[in-house]
Chains A and B, each alone.
Chain A
Amino acid sequence: MNRPTGARARRYTKMQKRDMRTAYLMLLPAVALLTVFVVAPLVMAISKSFYDWNFYGNSTFVGLENFRVIVVNKSFRRAVLNALKFVAVLVPLQIVLQFAFAHLLKSLSVRFSNAIKTAVYIPGIIAGIVAGIIFMFIFEYKGGLINQMLTSMGLSRIAFLNNGFWAMFSIVVPTIWLGFGGGTILNYAGLISVPAEYYEAASIDGAGAFRKLISITLPQMKNIFVLQCISMVTGTLQMFEVPMMMTNGGPRESTLTPMLYIYNNFKSTGVNMGRTIAGALLIMIFIAILNSFVFTVIRSERSIDG
C-alpha cells in the first residue's frame, strides 16, 4: 500500500516543480515590466526626495528639507487646495447626476434605455485634450456658443477662462461630460442588481417611492458609491489635461492642479526636482490613506454581511 502512494507523491512533486518553472516564466515579463516602470520609479522617487537636485546641476543630500519646504510652498499649497475644491464640487455632483439619471433610465424600457446609455457613453472615449478644445470653443468669449446664447437673451458675456469662479466652472463642465456616461452605466448596473423582492415587500408594507429610495435603493448602492467616490477622488486629485487646455492653471493659479504644478516644474529648468517629488509623494500618501480607510470600511461591512 505504501509504495504506490509514495511514488504518486514523488511524481506529483516533479509535476509541481515543472508547474513552478512554468509559473515563473509566465510571470517574468509582467513582473519585470512592473518592476522597471512602476516600482523602480517609485523607489527612486522616495530616495530622490531627500536630495536637492535638478536635471542639470549637482545633487546634495538635504534630509527632510524638501518636505518641509514643499508644504509651505505657495504654488503647491494653492494646487492642493484647488484640487480639494474640485473634489468637493465634482465628486458629489457627479455621483448625484449619474445616480439620478440611472434611476430614470431604470424606469424606462430596456431597449430604449440601452440606446440612451450607448449615446451618453460616447464622450467617455474622447481624449481629455479633445474635450478641452471642444469646450474652449464652446466657452469662447466673443463667438462661442454659450456667450452667443447669453447675448441673444439680452445678458452680458462671461469671460469664462479669465475669472476665478468661471474658470473653475469651465473645467468642471467638460470633466462631468467625460465621466457621465460611464458612471451612469455603473449606477444602472448597481440598480438592476437590487433584488426586486425588496421593493415588492416594501410595497406590501405600504412604502412610497421616496421611502423605497431611502430605505432600500441607497443602502444597497452604498458600495458602488464608495468605490465611485474613491476613484473620483483619486482621478480628480490628478486632473491634468482639461485644466491644461482650458486655463493652464490660470488666472493667477486659481485652477492650478497638483499634476499641472509637477508638469510645469518638470518643464522648467533649474527647479529643485527633489522638492517637486516630495510634494508628489505627499499626495500619494494621502491617496493611500484614503484607499486603506475605504477598504477597511467595505471589508468590515462585508464580513458582517457574510
Chain B
Amino acid sequence: MKTKPLAKLRYCIGCLVALAVAAVSLFPLLWMFLASFKNKQEVLATPLRMLPKQWISTNYEAVLVSTKNPLFHAMLMTFIVAVLGVIFSLLVNMMAAYAFARLDFFGKRLLWVYCLITMYVPGLTILITSYLVVHSLNMINTVWVLLVPGIAGGYNIFFFRQFFLNIPSSLEDAARIDGCGRFRIFWTVFLPLSVTPMVVQGAGIFIGYWNSFMWPSITVTDKSIQQVMPIIRSFQTDYGTEYGRIMAATCLAVIPPIALFAVFQKHIVKGFVLSGLK
C-alpha cells in the first residue's frame, strides 16, 4: 500500500525533470525568437523582460531589404544548392551502394576499402588542398564549388549498402526472370523500397548543405551566390550588438531545417539511431 504512492511520486518527479530539461533545450530558440521582435533598446535592457513590450517587425524588414547582405536571395540560393545536393547525392551514393551490395566484379574489395577510407579523412586535413583542387578546376566563385564536392560520401554509400543487403534477393530474382537489366532493377525495385532511408539520409544531407559555413566562406566571395551561413556571419559582424536584427536573420535562417524536421520528424529521429548504431 505504501510503496505505490511513493513510486507514483518518483514517476511524477521524473516527468517534471524531463520537462524541465526539454524546456531548457528549447529556451535558447525561444529567446532568439522573442529577441527578433524587440527594439534596439529593449533587446539588452535592464531589467530583463521576457516578452517584447511592443512586437515590432522592423528587424525583419531591415534584414530582408539589406542589399549588402542579401539574406532572402542567399536562402533561395542555398535552398537550390541543397535540393540539388540531396538529389545527386542520393543518386550517386545509392548507385554505388547497389553495386557493392548486389553485383560481383573484379576489384570489389579494393574499391570498397577505397570508399570507406574516405570516411576517415578529417575535413581539417584536406581543407587547404581541397581549395587548391577546386581552384585548379576553375570552380572558385561558382555554384559548382558549393554543390559538387559534397555529393559523394563514403558514409552514405556504407549506409545504403547495409540497407540493400537486407532486401531479400527473391524480389530481384523475380524481376531478373522477367528480363530486367540491373539499372531497371535498381530503379523499379530498390528505389521504391528505400523511401525511408532516402528520407533519413536526404534530410541529413539537406541540413548539412544548409548549415555549412566554412567551405562556402572560403570558396565564394560573390554575394550573388553566397550561402546563408556566411551571410548570417556577416550580419553579425556588421550589426555588432544589435541583437534584434541579428536574431531576425537567424530566425529566418532556421526555418527550413525546422520545417523539414517537423515534416519528417519520425524518420529523422529513427535514422539518427540507425546511423549512430551502425
Q: How far is the CB of B47 from chain A (nearest CB, A)?
A: 7
Whether A263 touches B127, Cβ cut-off 8 Å, given contacts A40-B133, A128-B211, A189-B277, is yes
Q: Is A156 an interface residue (CB 8 A)?
A: no
B124-161 interface mask toward A, CB cutoff 8 Å, 1 = contact, 0 = none? Answer: 11111111110001000000000011011010010000
Q: Which residues of B contact A140 (CB under 8 A)?
A: 44, 241, 243
Q: Which residues of A contact B106 (CB under 8 A)?
A: 20
Q: How far is the CB of B139 from chain A (nearest CB, A)?
A: 10
Q: Are A258 and B132 in contact (CB under 8 A)?
A: no
- Kindly identify, within residues 122 to 160 of chain A, every residue whose CB is under 8 Å from any CB belonging to chain B: 122-131, 133-135, 137-138, 140, 142-145, 148-149, 151-152
Q: How far is the CA of A150 from the CA of B233 in the complex (A)?
A: 29
Give the residue of B133, B157, B247 whose beta carbon is less than 8 angstroms from that of A41: B133
Q: Which residues of B contact A118 (CB under 8 A)?
A: 265, 269
Q: Is the interface of A mostly helix, strand, loop or mixed?
A: helix
Q: How far is the CB of A179 from chain B (nearest CB, A)?
A: 11
Q: How far is the CA of A298 from the CA of B6 in the complex (A)?
A: 41
Q: Which residues of A contact B105 (CB under 8 A)?
A: 19-20, 23-24
Q: Is A121 an interface residue (CB 8 A)?
A: yes
Q: Are B32 and A143 in contact (CB under 8 A)?
A: no
Q: Are B152 and A37 in contact (CB under 8 A)?
A: yes
Whether A33 touches B122, Cβ cut-off 8 Å, given contacts A118-B265, A180-B25, is no
Quick check: which of B66-74, B79-87, B166-174, B254-262 contacts chain A, the rest being far away?
B254-262
Q: How far is the CA of A7 from the CA of B131 in the complex (A)?
A: 54
Give the residue of A116, A125, A288 whose beta carbon is less than 8 angstroms from that of B257: A125
Among residues of B, the one whose C-beta sits closest to the C-beta of A263 is B214
Q: Is A212 an interface residue (CB 8 A)?
A: no
Q: How far is the CB of A83 from chain B (nearest CB, A)?
A: 10
Q: How far is the CA of A227 from the CA of B277 in the complex (A)?
A: 8
Whether A42 touches B269, Cβ cut-off 8 Å, given contacts A29-B92, A30-B152, A177-B28, is no
Q: Is B39 an interface residue (CB 8 A)?
A: no
Q: Which residues of A contact B272 (CB under 8 A)?
A: 121, 124, 182, 185-186
Q: How far is the CA of A26 from the CA of B214 in the complex (A)?
A: 31
Q: How far is the CA of A283 from the CA of B125 in the complex (A)?
A: 8
Q: Is B95 an interface residue (CB 8 A)?
A: yes
Among residues of A, the one whose C-beta sits closest to the C-beta of B218 is A266
Give the residue of A16, A20, A181, A237 whose beta carbon is less than 8 angstroms from that of B25: A181
- Kindly identify, within residues 7 to 58 of chain A, every residue whose CB is under 8 Å from any CB belonging to chain B: 16, 19-20, 22-24, 26-27, 29-31, 33-34, 36-42, 44-45, 48
Q: How far is the CA of A42 from the CA of B114 in the complex (A)?
A: 13
Q: Are A133 and B269 in contact (CB under 8 A)?
A: no
Whether A129 touches B213, Cβ cut-off 8 Å, given contacts A33-B92, A143-B46, A182-B272, is yes
Q: How far is the CB of A281 from chain B (nearest CB, A)?
A: 6
Q: How far is the CB of A244 from chain B (nearest CB, A)?
A: 9
Q: Are B26 and A119 in contact (CB under 8 A)?
A: yes
Quick check: which of B13-21, B57-65, B193-201 contacts chain A, the rest being far away?
B13-21
Q: Which residues of A contact B226 (CB under 8 A)?
A: none
Among residues of A, the one whose C-beta sits closest to the C-beta of B107 is A24
Q: Are B32 and A134 in contact (CB under 8 A)?
A: yes
Whether A19 touches B103, Cβ cut-off 8 Å, given contacts A45-B128, A122-B261, is yes
Q: How far is the CB of B191 from chain A (nearest CB, A)?
A: 13
Q: Is A269 an interface residue (CB 8 A)?
A: no
Q: Which residues of B contact A19 (CB under 8 A)?
A: 103-105, 182
Quick check: which of A67-75, A103-111, A162-170 contacts chain B, the rest being far away?
A103-111
Q: Are A45 and B129 in contact (CB under 8 A)?
A: yes
Q: How far is the CA of A40 from the CA of B121 in the complex (A)?
A: 11
Q: Which residues of B contact A227 (CB under 8 A)?
A: 276, 278
Quick check: which of A84-92, A195-203, A272-280 contacts chain B, the rest being far away?
A272-280
B177-189 interface mask toward A, CB cutoff 8 Å, 1 = contact, 0 = none? Answer: 0000111001000
Q: How far is the CB of B181 from chain A (nearest CB, A)?
A: 7
Q: Are B103 and A127 in contact (CB under 8 A)?
A: no
Q: Which residues of A contact B29 (CB under 8 A)?
A: 122-123, 126, 134
Q: Which residues of B contact A181 (CB under 8 A)?
A: 25
Among residues of B, the one whose C-beta sits closest to the C-beta of A152 is B47
Whether A240 touches B277, Cβ cut-off 8 Å, given contacts A113-B18, A125-B207, is no
Q: How far is the CA of A129 from the CA of B213 in the complex (A)?
A: 8
Task: Give 16 new A-B contacts, CB below 8 A, not counting A23-B103, A37-B148, A140-B44.
Answer: A26-B183, A29-B92, A31-B96, A33-B92, A121-B268, A121-B272, A122-B258, A122-B261, A125-B258, A133-B236, A133-B246, A140-B241, A143-B45, A186-B277, A241-B214, A276-B128
3 closest Cβ contacts across the A-B interface? A143-B44, A33-B152, A127-B211
12 example contacts (A-B, Cβ-Cβ < 8 A) are as follows: A27-B111, A41-B132, A118-B265, A129-B229, A130-B253, A134-B247, A140-B44, A182-B276, A238-B123, A277-B125, A280-B124, A284-B122
